[in-house]
Structure 1
Amino acid sequence: MATAGVEFTAKNPIDRKGIEPTQVKSIKLLTALDNGSKNDGTGKGVQPGMLYGNTYSFKVSAYTNGNPNDLKKIKWKYKYHSLSKDKWIEKTSSKTGDTYSLHLNEKDMCGRTIHVMAYINDFENEGYLKTWFHNRFRWFDRMMFEKELEQRTDNRHPEVINQKGTSLCGMAAIFYLFAKEQPEKYKKFSKDLFRTGEATSNSYTAKPSSDILNKKINTMGFPMNTGNMAIVDFVTLASTRNTKNPKYKGGNEEFNAINWPPFMVELCEKLLGYGSVKSKGVYNPVKPLLTSTSDMKNKIEDINKQFNDGYKLILMIDADLIQDQWDIKALDLHWVNLESVIKWDYVPGVFGSKRDEVMFKVYSWGSNTQYLSKPISWSHFVMNYNGYIKMK
């Protein structure tokens, strides 16, 4: 559908003696618009708007005093308010005539209202048309996104970041640290991604494919096939994973969403900007059949030393480590952020142990208070722990 023209209303009337000069009274958009979010906080409303990469044609639809003798006298310009520069950007076209084409390839214009003007001698008061230019994530509600972002930064709840029904636990661990330790950088990165489809932090740039940018929403306004993942989490987590592996399409594809250790290290260095990043034993595809208390002691002492030395630690575990049930058959690799030292209360006995309780806190699955719900045994820990990435 095309947007109706805005008729000219003179603010500063021109001194007209004799025959009144003709002016552009109104213009219209010839190119059909595409729907996207209405950004009204409901997650469901839609509105028409322009899309990045498309070309839109405009035409003069009426004049104030008959058609001009020379159509080349009709000039065109457009303007928008730039969020990145915090000022109005105004550009005049070198093309003249009663038609005009505008190719939208400037990402800074996304998520803004574009003001198009056609005029002969008074651009402020002649033909004028305002049209909405969708955010790159056009189906997601901006008001919902900003509310979620505020909760993670201004309200200081980065632990609500949640990969929901996807295998993006590694991305969740990375962005939990990002939001917790660098909230302003995280906020800018998230906003830039949502609006322009591209964002850079430190030396890493996320630039998701159209599969991510055009993700549709469910009846609740959340990204489809993600288990109602929050919009801001999808925008950041899915975009970053897709940038590295375009085969990940932003849903519940398990294998393509896996966050392998080298990529995790890369993000710690380039996205989060940590100068010292090292990994240790982070991937063990086969669970050990036998282990010992001395092995457990060494692992705990090593982890606690890194934690007490000021390193941020992301652990690779089998998900059984922080769940109530422990199976020895399934391999459910999972990334979590260590939030405390590991306490091991152990008293050996003649037949087994008299006391054996391992307790610690981690961030995982949108919470840093739920895990562990109760102490586990040393064998439960050591047989489901693989290694860590440390950074500072």
Structure 2
Amino acid sequence: MWVMLYYKDDSGDYHELLDPKFSCMCYLPASTEEEALAINSQECVRYPESTYHTINGNDIHDYEFEIPDKGGCFRVKDLKSGQTDPFTFENVQKELDVRMLEPDKKTGIRLSTDPAYYPSQGDSSLCGMAAFYYCLLKDRHDIYFQTIEDLWLTGRTLLGMLEIKPGKSCKNPTDMLDGRGVPRISAIDWMTLAGTRDSMNTFLSYDSPDDQTAGITKAEAIDECFLAVGAKNKLENITGGMYLANSGLQEICNLNAYVGDSFHVIINIHPELLSSNDGFYQRNWIVLESKLQLDDGSNNDVTVQTPLNSLVKLTVFSWGNVNSKLLKNTNLKYFLDNFYGGMVFEKIP
């Protein structure tokens, strides 16, 4: 349950306490059936105030985020003898502990035996949802972690104006583990990425990382997610809306202008820009962490006058990794041949 604290002044007016140390997330015990039904919604909560000191000096209380061990709503359907369900309380909490590390303590590199520091689609086609949840984690980690807790405990949540309510098949997925019994996508990423994708699908049910079609995310779905949490779309130049043709130099320059601390820039590319082993996937959503620049030591931004044979470089977020880079010796023409436009969103408030 989300809790925003207010104080009442002498005139009887209420004011929000905007200082982060006064806000929190918690579950309050339900005393009536009505309160129990509203446990996952935004409500007004009355609380007592004291004029006495509750903290001495700089003694600030530090709280750790943990999910209650009450049994989750997600279970692997085809678990074999000797295999461990990744949706157990212990494993979900372990993944959260890693995901909660401060950015300066994260290496940005995903190890095959460890959960990703950042959202990752793993072996699925959920790159669009991974891009959105990466931005959500950066801007509003409180909402991000509350979403995971709600989904694990109740199987549903409200992400801003977007209801996430995955179906039974999504909550009981198949083919989640590889031949060694290792999850092909982390439990918390399946709950958030797959859970959101399944909720937004009108006809297709998403129940396996192998279901590539049901996991594909179009620009409209990413736009809906950002708008649901209050982030406006500032620019969109996806080619034709269906990615049937590549975008041009002017389009990447327009997107380049927004790369910085105030916006998220998400672009659609062919994955062979990042890896020589592109496998099944023909499109990939990534988040720009730098501008497209010349790879000649000058660090100058690419412009509409940049020759097409110029070598370029770019740092992006992709597959749980925040330091993915273009393949060595990528020139501007090759980049544009595999670039399909992008979108710009304001930071999530």
Q: TM bucket by the smaller chain?
A: 0.5 to 0.7
What letter is aligned with 2:285? W
Q: Is the 8 A contact 1:280 1:387 kept in 2?
A: yes
Q: Which of these residues, 124, 127, 146, is aligned with residue 166 of structure 1? A: 124
Which residue of 65, 70, 93 corresponds with 1:146?
93
**Contact 1:269/1:277 (CA < 8 Å) preserved in 2?**
no
Match of 1:237 in 2: 193
Distance 2:294 2:242 in 1: 23
- The alpha-carbon distance between structure 1 residues 275 and 355, as it changes in their structure 2 partners (threshold 3 A), is closer
**Are 2:315 and 1:361 equivalent residues in the alignment?**
yes
Of the three residues 183, 208, 221, the one matched with 2:141 is: 183
Q: How do 1:1-16 residues align onto structure 2 when only pairs under 5 Å count?
A: none
Name the CA distance, whole Å, in 1 between partners of 2:27 and 2:262: 37
- 2:268 paired with 1:311: no
What is the CA–CA distance in structure 2 between the aligned matches of 1:159 and 1:377, rounded to whole Å?
30
Q: 5+ unaligned residues in a row in structure 2: which ranges?
A: 1-24, 41-68, 77-86, 107-115, 299-306
Aligned to 1:388, what secondary structure does the other structure show?
strand
Distance 1:390 1:183 in 2: 20
Larger radius of gyration: 1
- Partners of 1:181 and 1:236 in 2: CA distance: 16
Q: Distance in 2 between the 1:308 and 1:91 partners?
A: 48
1 or 2 for the larger relative contact order (CA 8 Å, sep ≥6)?
Answer: 2
Structure 1 residues 388 and 354 mapped into 2: Cα distance closer, same or farther (>3 Å)? closer
Letter in 2 for 1:339: E
Q: Which amino acid in the other structure matches residue 344 of structure 2?
A: K
Which residue pairs with 2:44 in the alignment? none
The alpha-carbon deviation at position 90 of structure 1 amounts to 6.8
* C-alpha spacing 1:309/1:362, structure 2 compared with 1 (3 Å): closer
Q: Is residue 258 from structure 1 mapped to residue 216 from structure 2 by the alignment? A: yes
Cα deviations by residue, 1:31-89 (Å, 9 ceiling, x for unpaired):
xxxxxxxxxxxxxxxxxxxxxxxxxxxxxxxxxxxxxxxxxxxxxxxxxxxx95344x5
Q: After superposition, give the CA deviation of every residue in 1:91-122 in whole Å (9 maximum; x if it has no partner).
A: 89xxxxxxxxxxxx97969xxxxxxxxxxxxx
Q: Distance in 2 between matches of 1:332 and 1:355?
A: 24
Paired residue for 2:71, among 121, 125, 134?
134
Matches within 5 A, 1:368-387: 368-387=322-341
- 1: CA distance, partners of 2:133 / 2:316: 14
Q: Secondary structure at the match of 2:142?
A: helix
TM-score, length-scaled by structure 2: 0.64
Sequence identity, in percent?
23
* Paired positions, count: 257
Change in Cα spacing, 1:354 to 1:281, as seen in structure 2 (3 Å) is closer
Correspondence list, 1:1-392, <5 A: 85-87=27-29, 134-138=71-75, 140-156=87-103, 157=106, 160-215=118-173, 218=177, 228-245=184-201, 247-251=204-208, 252-270=210-228, 272-282=229-239, 283=241, 285-287=243-245, 295-296=248-249, 298-308=250-260, 310-324=262-276, 332-345=282-295, 356-392=310-346
Q: CA deviation at 1:147?
A: 1.7
* Residues 383/354 of structure 1: CA separation in 2 closer, same or farther (3 Å cut): closer
Contact 1:189 1:201 in 2 (8 A): yes
Aligned to 2:11: none
Distance apart, 1:240 and its partner CA: 0.2
Q: Secondary structure at the residue paired with 1:370?
A: strand
What runs of 5+ residues in structure 1 fail to find an aligned partner?
1-82, 93-104, 110-131, 348-352
Name the aligned partner's letter for residue 340 of structure 1.
S
Letter matched to residue 269 of structure 2? I
Question: Offset of 1:262 from its aligned partner?
Answer: 0.8
Q: Give the aligned CA root-mean-square deviation in angstroms.
A: 3.5
Distance 2:181 2:156 in 1: 22
Q: CA deviation at 1:151?
A: 1.7
1:342-383 CA-partner distances (Å, limit 9, x unpaired):
102579xxxxx7972110101111212232252410111111
Q: Tell me the secondary structure at the aligned position of residue 336 of structure 1.
A: strand
